[in-house]
Structure 1
Amino acid sequence: MKCTHTIHDRHCHHGWNNTNTPVLRIEPGETVEFLTQDSSGGQLGKSSTLADLGKLDFAKVNPVTGPVHIDGAEPGDAIAVTLLEFGPSGWGWTANIPGFGLLADQFKDPALHIWTYDAQSLAPALYGPGGRVPLKPFCGTIGLAPAEPGLHSVVPPRRMGGNMDIRDLAAGTTLYLPVEVAGGLFSLGDTHAAQGDGEVCGTAIESPCTVAAKFELIKCANLAFPRFTTPGPVTRHLDAKGYEVTTGIGADLMEGARAAVSGMIDLLCKRHNMNAVDAYMLCSVCGDLRISEIVDMPNWVVSFYFPRIVLE
């Protein structure tokens, strides 16, 4: 769609800092098209191999395009960002990066899968022998600058947003972000073609996209944390054939999550003759971790939902 402004992907930064110079100043109500790099910062591409994964410079990962200064935004306000449209690139990557991910102690060797997909139809992307992953482009990293001075890593999410990896920050969603500094200083990046809730191996289908967004200002909102509104159902693209579900039960939610994911990997390996690391990466791009029960002390239930439509 046609926007009021366009910001090219060369206008990016690799950490949150409230002294970053805005590349654009806008009034509330204006629209901006953002061009993004993939989360490797261009270090991986359509022809990359496992050797390229081993050469990643982690100082260059997760670049975000911006920042944008929204006139009139002050601490205590909220900036409402409506994600209008995504322009997918047609390719992406998923990797198991040693030392990163929910089951990093179990999967110590690197692995890389390069995806290609139809950027117009967004038909399910092929994976291995018979796998078909439904796509839903979204922003993995989207947020404002923190009030705390200095340079802050873009990897962990923060009160003002950032690397939240919420797969429902897709077209039509409106995200409300708490403002900590004048102008907000908004940036986004780390776009994905698909991801399961939890992003369990640490990567999704990492895929550069263009993103069109509209900005509004809400005075004196006093949000403690980000919130968002979706335009409709959020799992319809996965629901058609139901789910296989594994659980983890115990006194620690993290250990419950690990057990639930491990159980699904075992199930996929046995039923579909998959390698464990391939099952792990597939779980990351289309399976959902959920807290099913958190009141029946001392044990809680975490479930992992894998959509049957992917492999049937």
Structure 2
Amino acid sequence: MTVHHLPSTPATVRWGELPVAGDRPVLEVDPGDVVVVDTVSHEGILEDQGRDPVAFFTARGIEAAAVLPDAVEIARSVPHDPAVHGPHVVTGPVLVRGARPGDVLSVTVEELVLRADHGVVSNRHGRGALPAEYPAGGAEVFSVLARVETDPATGARRGSMPIGPDTGARVRFPLKPFLGLVGVGTPGPQRLHSVPPGMHGGNLDVSVLGVGSTLHLPVQVDGALFHTGDPHYSQGDGEVALTAFEAPLRARLRLDLLPADAVRVRDALWGETPDLLVPLGIDLDLDEALRKAVRTAIALLVDLGMDPAHALAYLSAAGDFAVSQVVDRVSGVHGLIRKADLVELPGVRGR
């Protein structure tokens, strides 16, 4: 196992587009290798925020020295047209040697380190869960600076933001870092917009997939062409404003490869944590996204030895299904199935 460092620079990122077959990889690794990625958030560098992160953040009380140089350089020099491209800074692609269509790339998050003590939550005109109602007053974009604080009672870090424009009072909440965008390359010929997720993964925005989690992605092109971005310090399920606490992370990721002949649950998106199975469903229609998540949940339980009808009954009695996000054109639902419930299943006992 080799550990690789992958910075986000104009040479290693695309802004708003996802990799396709034929794209030159910025890094080549073997299955089982670890990649440490310095991700960059798009919030604070976008055109409707001035495309000048130093000016944007210093106007909100952040010292210029605290603005990441890689964000400044990407804003200055990487091509981006908001009318055509998505907002996300996408780092990669990373070629995984030996990966072929039909295999599964398993991306395990070993560590997430905060690269800043601040970030941004934004709502934009025509976007979010309430596109006709917010931002109020005809504004095109409303951005709130969020901070990382230390709880004086416990010493734990937490997020905070003001409750209004002219008050010192703040709301405070737990930090739960994760990567919103984790994916594999697609056949093309055109690069996909970075916003809608799909079977390639991409902008899934599933907040439970933090440190210790693994996302299993069906490989679509030779080399897999792994990529990542959209770092978060926290996100509520639904992500109703449009973005959540968006801020840069250093992510330590292990890339494992499951060959096609060993894949047991096919054509499915799912993840897991040490305690949970996390089936995923995505669709333009939120109801259909739920149905897809339930079907994937049943498939995972059947693979472990449950009868399908009994699996559905168990999910109704004890499984949870949450709205991942409703703001990425394609809506997402994720299920939460406790592994501790499944210890007597034949497929669990046999592992």
Preserved CA contact (<8 Å) 2:43 2:247? no
Please say if residues 25 and 95 of structure 2, whose CA atoms lie closer than 8 Å, have aligned partners that are also in contact. yes
Work out the CA distance in 2 between the residues paired with 1:224 and 1:46. 43
Q: 1:102 aligns with which of 129, 137, 149?
A: 129
Deviations 1:145-178 (A, max 9, x none): 1123212101100111000011012110011100
Secondary structure of the residue aligned to 1:117 is strand
Residue 223 (1) aligns with residue 294 (2): no
Matching residue of 2:306:
none
Partner of 2:94: 68
Q: Which SS does the other structure have where 2:228 is aligned?
A: strand
Q: Is the 8 A contact 1:138 1:169 kept in 2?
A: yes
**C-alpha distance in 2 between matches for 1:102 and 1:289:** 19
**What's the CA shift string for 1:183-237, capped at 9, x where partnerless?**
1000000000000111111100010111000011101126313211112379xxx
How do residues 12-91 of structure 1 correspond to structure 2 at under 5 angstroms? 12-14=13-15, 15-16=17-18, 17-40=20-43, 42=45, 43=51, 44=53, 46-48=57-59, 58=82, 59=85, 61-88=87-114, 89-91=116-118
**Aligned-partner Cα distance in 2 for 1:85–1:253:** 31
Task: Measure, in 2, the Cα distance between the counterparts of 1:289 and 1:57.
Answer: 36
Tell me what 2:194 maps to. Answer: 154
Q: Within 5 A, what are the aligned runs for 1:88-237? A: 88=114, 89-108=116-135, 109=139, 110-118=141-149, 123-128=157-162, 129-220=169-260, 221=263, 223-232=266-275
Which amino acid in the other structure matches residue 41 of structure 2?
A: D
In structure 2, what is the Cα distance between the partners aligned to 1:81 and 1:253? 26
Residues of 2 paired with 1:156 and 1:137: CA distance? 21
Identity %: 32
- How has the CA–CA distance of structure 1 residues 171 and 164 changed in structure 2, closer, same or farther, with 3 Å as cutoff? same
State the SS of the aligned residue for 1:37: coil
**2:208 maps to amino acid:** D
Q: Contact between 2:105 and 2:219, CA under 8 Å: does it hold in 1?
A: yes
Aligned mates of 1:167, 1:70 — CA distance in 2: 25
1:113 and 1:212, CA in 2 relative to 1: closer, same or farther beyond 3 A?
same
Q: Which moved more, 1:219-228 or 1:56-65?
A: 56-65
C-alpha contact 1:41 1:61 (8 A) present in aligned 2: no
Structure 1: which amino acid aligns with 2:215? L
What one-letter code is carried by the residue in structure 2 that aligns with 1:47?
A: T
> Could you tell me whether the CA contact under 8 Å between 1:40 and 1:60 is conserved in 2?
no
* Contact in 1 for aligned 2:86/2:195 (Cα 8 Å): no
- The whole-number CA distance in structure 1 between the counterparts of 2:36 and 2:238 is 28
Say what the alpha-carbon RMSD is for the aligned residues. Answer: 2.9
For residues 205 and 186 of structure 1, do their structure 2 counterparts lie closer, same or farther at Cα, with a shift above 3 Å needed?
Answer: same
SS at match of 2:112: strand
**How many Å apart are 1:130 and its aligned residue?**
3.9
Counterpart of 2:267 in 1: which secondary structure?
A: coil
Aligned partners of 1:160 and 1:225 also within 8 Å: no
Of 127-136 and 62-71, more deviation after overlay is shown by 127-136
CA distance in structure 2 between the partners assigned to 1:6 and 1:161 by the alignment: 22
Q: How many residues align?
A: 235
Q: Gapped runs of 5+ residues in structure 1?
A: 50-55, 235-251, 255-287, 292-301, 303-312
Taking a change above 3 Å as real, the CA distance of residues 122 and 153 of structure 1, as seen in their structure-2 partners, is: farther
Distance 1:61 1:197, change over 3 A: same
Q: CA 1:61/1:102 → structure 2, altered by over 3 Å: closer, same or farther?
A: same
Structure 2 regions of 5+ residues with no counterpart?
46-50, 61-79, 163-168, 278-284, 288-319, 324-332, 334-351
Say which is worse superposed, 132-141 or 110-119, in terms of deviation.
Answer: 110-119
- Does the residue aligned with 1:46 lie in a helix, a strand or coil? helix
Aligned to 2:299: none
* SS at 1:216 equivalent: strand
The alpha-carbon deviation at position 47 of structure 1 amounts to 2.8
Judge conservation of contact 1:92–1:114 (CA < 8 Å) in 2: yes
Once the two structures are TM-superposed, the CA of residue 3 in structure 1 deviates from its matched residue by 6.7
Which structure shows the bigger proportion of residues in helix conformation? 2
Q: Please say if residues 78 and 179 of structure 1, whose CA atoms lie closer than 8 Å, have aligned partners that are also in contact.
A: yes
1:57 deviation in Å? 5.8
User: TM-score by structure 2 length?
Assistant: 0.61
Amino acid aligned to 1:6: H
